[in-house]
């Protein structure tokens, strides 16, 4: 089938749906300027996950050589500060508005689905802009730009950092005053809200798998769960990925273009029926 035909088929399926779920990965935010992990030039080509993606590895790296990851952290802060939701995020919001999409399950920590306007967003790998206390139950959602500018300001106050300086960059717990960390899931840590995500996948009529390689579990199970339970699966990804075998429709385009075109056709189908 041609890409145009895949898009039309995706739109026909979505136009009949009332309980769709989108399972999203880093690729949906690529057009917002946020790098993916495993594509050429991605995050894991630039930093070693054993040094930056487990809490033990990160603490050991920061203690051994506190300056090592600072340029990467600064670049990340600037990338997240500049990012805005892109047409793919807004397309999901429109699908929710039309009563077609119920839930977004995202592996992304960038807050962009909520900023685009989706209301039921399950952040299975946490949020980069929610801080949680390492000592008590306190946590707080910050505005993305407010938190970043606070941390950047503190970073610009010094030329070099010790391990404790880096810990001090984070806001203090407003409950007990202890140190906090971003509430993100690092390798080896408990993934969040998986029972609710799996329930959404099992109950949905359509599963959209957008911009994810499908290699990180348990999130990667969701399209398979949905397919097993009888849902149609629409995959949007410019590159081959782990969901090819369960896809009813495969749109090999970037998320922004694909989702914009799909939603435009959904609207035409829905309007024609009225």
Of 42 and 171, the one with the shorter C-beta distance to ligand OAD is 42
* Cβ partners under 8 Å of residue 193, min gap 6: 122, 123, 124
Beta-strand (E) ranges in 11-115? 20-24, 101-106
Q: How far is the CB of 101 from ligand OAD (least distance, A)?
A: 17
Closest to 25 (Cα-Cα) out of 97, 90, 108: 108
Residue number closest to ligand OAD, CB atom: 27
The stretches of 65-188 forming alpha helices (DSSP H) are 70-82, 87-97, 112-116, 144-156, 163-168
Q: Calculate the alpha carbon distances from 269 to 22, 204, 236 in Å.
A: 20, 21, 20
Q: How far is the CB of 4 from ligand OAD (least distance, A)?
A: 18
Q: How far is the CB of 239 from ligand OAD (least distance, A)?
A: 3
Q: Identify whether 97 is a catalytic site residue.
A: no
Structure tokens at 204: 């949905």
Residue of 89, 97, 113, 125 marked catalytic: 125
Of 30 and 173, the one with the shorter C-beta distance to ligand OAD is 30
Q: How far is the CB of 251 from ligand OAD (least distance, A)?
A: 9
Task: Report the interface residues with ligand OAD, using CB under 6 A.
Answer: 25-27, 30-31, 36-39, 42, 53, 107, 125, 185, 187, 211-213, 215-216, 237-239, 241, 254-255
Of 115 and 260, the one with the shorter C-beta distance to ligand OAD is 260
Q: Which residues are catalytic?
A: 125
């Amino acid at each position: 089938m041609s890409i145009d035909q895949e898009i039309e088929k995706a739109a026909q399926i979505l136009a009949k749906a009332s309980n769709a779920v989108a399972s999203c990965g880093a690729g949906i935010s690529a057009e917002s300027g946020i790098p993916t992990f495993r594509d050429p030039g991605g995050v894991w080509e630039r930093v070693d996950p054993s040094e930056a993606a487990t809490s033990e590895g990160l603490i050991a790296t920061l203690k051994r050589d506190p300056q090592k990851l600072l340029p990467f952290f600064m670049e990340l802060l600037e990338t997240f500060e500049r990012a805005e939701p892109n047409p793919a995020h807004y397309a999901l919001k429109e699908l929710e508005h039309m009563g077609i999409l119920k839930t977004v399950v995202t592996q992304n920590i960038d807050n962009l689905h909520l900023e685009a306007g989706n209301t039921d967003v399950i952040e299975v790998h946490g949020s980069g802009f929610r801080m949680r206390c390492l000592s008590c139950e306190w946590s707080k959602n910050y505005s993305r730009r407010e938190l970043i500018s606070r941390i950047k300001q503190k970073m610009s106050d010094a030329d070099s950092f010790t391990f404790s300086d880096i810990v001090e960059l984070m806001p203090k717990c407003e409950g007990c005053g202890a140190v906090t960390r971003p509430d993100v899931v690092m390798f080896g840590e408990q993934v969040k809200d998986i029972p609710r995500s799996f329930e959404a996948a099992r109950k949905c009529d359509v599963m959209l798998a957008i911009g994810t390689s499908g290699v990180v579990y348990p999130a990667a199970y969701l399209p398979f769960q949905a397919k097993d339970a009888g849902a149609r699966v629409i995959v949007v990804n410019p590159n081959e990925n782990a969901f090819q075998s369960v896809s009813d429709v495969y749109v090999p385009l970037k998320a922004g273009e694909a989702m914009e075109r799909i939603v435009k056709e959904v609207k035409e189908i829905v309007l024609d029926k009225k």
